[in-house]
Amino acid sequence: MVITEFLERNARLYRDEIALVEVNPSHERDQAKTWREFGLIERSCPNAPYRREMSWGHFDKKANRFANLLLSRGVKRGTKVGILLMNCLEWLPIYFGVLKVGCIAVPLNFRYSSEEIRYCLDLADVEVLVFGPEFVDRIEPILPALGQVRLRFFVGRSIPPFAEDYREMIGYCSCDAPPVHLEPYDLAAIYFSSGTTGFPKAILHNHRALFAACLTEQHHHGQTRDDVFLCIPPLYHTGAKMHWFGSLASGSRAVLLRGVSPEWILRTVTEEKCTIVWLLVPWAQDILDAIDSGQVNLDHYLLDQWRLMHIGAQPVPPSLVHRWKKVFPHHAYDTNYGLSESLGPGCVHLGVENIGKVGAIGKAGYLWEAKVVDEAGKELPPGAVGELAVRGPGVMLGYYKNPEATAEVLRDEWLFTGDMAQRDEDGFFYLVDRKKDVVISGGENIYPVQIEDFLRRHEKIKDAAVIGLPDQRLGEIAAAIIQIKEGMACTEEEINAFCQELPRYKRPRRVIFDTVPRNPTGKIEKPALREKYCHVRLVEAQTTR
């Protein structure tokens, strides 16, 4: 099978049942007017003007219409189609339309600047671009450099002069399945790395990988047709979409929430009767902080049906999980580890039955293998720290147009993740840190994640990041950037006293109070912190010579 067959099956069996719901709390009172202006009304609900929905049957027809539009415009199998949209009902039908016609979907980060958009479109050889009204001002300045993008479809009402009306164009196209035969090893998608080490790399996957991701996700979380999945992270990212694949495989409903406030998350869980919610670490922290401060009263929400909260995309502080379980003791908890190079979450997976192993990222996921290796690629015994390597059906084919970078991370079908980890005697893997984030101070390896987890146990600390700063004597020192909870005050002396529990070499030698920046998938933006503070440290070092 290929992944598009799941959609066709659901349309056949559950044609009139709701597949997708979009909830957009921003400007709630004016939302119906806004959607009308964009031309995006799709079974909106009169009693909830911030809500739209789409059935499985309509989902499949919309995908077919876009696929047939591409065929009618001479688009050939293997053509790259960029998707630059905020989360919305149109996103997934467009994605599946691309897949159905044998083209390659290229989702783009909606936070990209004009130059990053240009870079990624050029790198991936994109010839067709679908974009929304939020991106007109970013695309217009780079139009002269987008000569290869010969078709541009706009999802909205006020059509810019350099694009065509997506809604009008698909209205002329057949809703029947396109006459294109797909095979599991056909190319399917290019995703981009998070770009935490510079401009992103283009990651190439085939249909087999997408289909396997559906099987892995449903096996891990046991989605049934009774489940309702709340999807908050952006669909351009493999994490959000591959968790939604469990809904696709089970034919169950999913809700796309365009908002991350604790009130709206809990309100949407209540109103949509969500049973599964995937959160990023900052959002889980915000919910707990809002409850602790009295900003949120749980008595105002109906949450009994919420059965599973899971987190991925970045290391999860054990203290956060323990805190969550105290507030929501009936929730099953899970964590998932993955990379875009392994098609998102699932290559390593904790499992709801292993709550006693909180702090671990888990064991090799369904259909996956995992091991910890040394610099030579030799597997290490339990307890030893080395690089985590994974192998399975979701491993990328390679970095598109970058064989050198591919050869660095792909060896004998194993993907070398760049994450330092260790395995315990029971076979559970624990992340230690990113290989490139390890701080070497006076010859000692310091793993920032361990210190960050410790710091987040402090009652006044909302978030923490540890980076290496240059030092004349030790080479590097560990610096802690600490974000204090709103309304609280804290001193460097308090932090230093708290850190006395750490071994001496692990104690931060510098404490900086600042906001901890995170990207849209929740990962700490350490390059930004290094750029901000390493320069300061270098200047200080130079002035003391």
Let me know: does 62 contact 170? Beta carbons within 8 Å: yes
Among 186, 201, 231, give the residue marking a domain's end: 231
Residues contacting 373, CB < 8 A, separation 6+: 379, 380, 386, 387, 389, 416
DSSP character for 440? Answer: E
Residue 473, Cβ density class (10 Å: 0-12 exposed, 13-18 middle, ≥19 buried): exposed
Let me know: does 61 contact 49? Beta carbons within 8 Å: no
Whether the per-residue pLDDT at 542 is higher than 60: the answer is: no
* Average pLDDT value for residue range 303-325: 87
Considering only residues 441 and 222, tell me which one the structure prediction assigns the higher pLDDT.
222
Q: Please indicate, yes or no, if residue 160 is contained in any of the structural domains.
A: yes
At residue 420, φ and ψ (nearest 5 deg) are -85, 135
Q: Please indicate, yes or no, if residue 536 is contained in any of the structural domains.
A: yes
Cα of 298 vs its chain's centroid, Å: 27
Residue 53, Cβ density class (10 Å: 0-12 exposed, 13-18 middle, ≥19 buried): buried
* Average pLDDT value for residue range 471-481: 80
Q: What is the pLDDT of residue 49?
A: 61
Instruction: Provide the number of structural domains found in the chain.
Output: 2
Query: Rounded CA gap, 457 and 502, in Å?
Result: 13
At residue 523, φ and ψ (nearest 5 deg) are -80, 140
| Percent of the chain residues topping a pLDDT of 90 | 68
Single-letter amino acid code for the residue at 42: E
Mean pLDDT of the chain: 88
Single-letter amino acid code for the residue at 472: Q
Q: Please indicate, yes or no, if residue 222 is contained in any of the structural domains.
A: yes
Q: What is the pLDDT of residue 521?
A: 64
Q: Please indicate, yes or no, if residue 305 is contained in any of the structural domains.
A: no
Let me know: does 341 contact 415? Beta carbons within 8 Å: yes
Q: Please indicate, yes or no, if residue 267 is contained in any of the structural domains.
A: no
Q: Which residues of 117-152 are buried (b: 16+ CB within 10 A; e: fewer)?
A: bbbbbebbbbbbbbbbbebbebbeebeeebeebebb
Whether the per-residue pLDDT at 241 is higher than 70: the answer is: yes
Instruction: Report DSSP letters for 9-69, one per residue.
Output: HHHHHSTTSEEEEEE--TTGGGHHHHHHHHT--SS-BTTBTTEEEEEHHHHHHHHHHHHHH
Q: Please indicate, yes or no, if residue 532 is contained in any of the structural domains.
A: yes
Domain containing residue 450: CATH number: 3.30.300.30
Single-letter amino acid code for the residue at 419: D
* Average pLDDT value for residue range 5-28: 91
Single-letter amino acid code for the residue at 10: N
Q: What is the pLDDT of residue 316?
A: 79
Q: What is the pLDDT of residue 260?
A: 86
Q: Please indicate, yes or no, if residue 478 is contained in any of the structural domains.
A: yes
Among 211, 231, 251, give the residue marking a domain's end: 231
Domain containing residue 217: CATH number: 3.40.50.12780
46-104 pLDDT, tens digit per residue, is 556 689 999 999 999 999 999 999 999 999 999 999 999 999 999 999 999 999 999 99
Q: Please indicate, yes or no, if residue 427 is contained in any of the structural domains.
A: no
Whether the per-residue pLDDT at 296 is higher than 60: the answer is: yes
Query: Rounded CA gap, 57 and 40, in Å?
Result: 18
Among 182, 202, 231, give the residue marking a domain's end: 231
* Average pLDDT value for residue range 446-461: 87
pTM for the predicted model, two decimal places: 0.82
Sign of the four-CA dihedral 530, 531, 537, 541: positive
Whether the per-residue pLDDT at 315 is higher than 50: the answer is: yes
Considering only residues 539 and 262, tell me which one the structure prediction assigns the higher pLDDT.
262
For residue 280, count other CB atoms closer than 10 A to its CB: 23
Query: Rounded CA gap, 180 and 168, in Å?
Result: 23
Residues spanned by the domain of 527? 438-543
Helix (H) or strand (E) holding 284: helix 281-293
Question: With left for phi above 0 and alpha for psi between -120 and 50, is residue 13 left, alpha or beta?
Answer: alpha
Sign of the four-CA dihedral 175, 231, 105, 31: positive
H runs (alpha helix) in 39-165: 56-72, 91-100, 114-123, 136-139
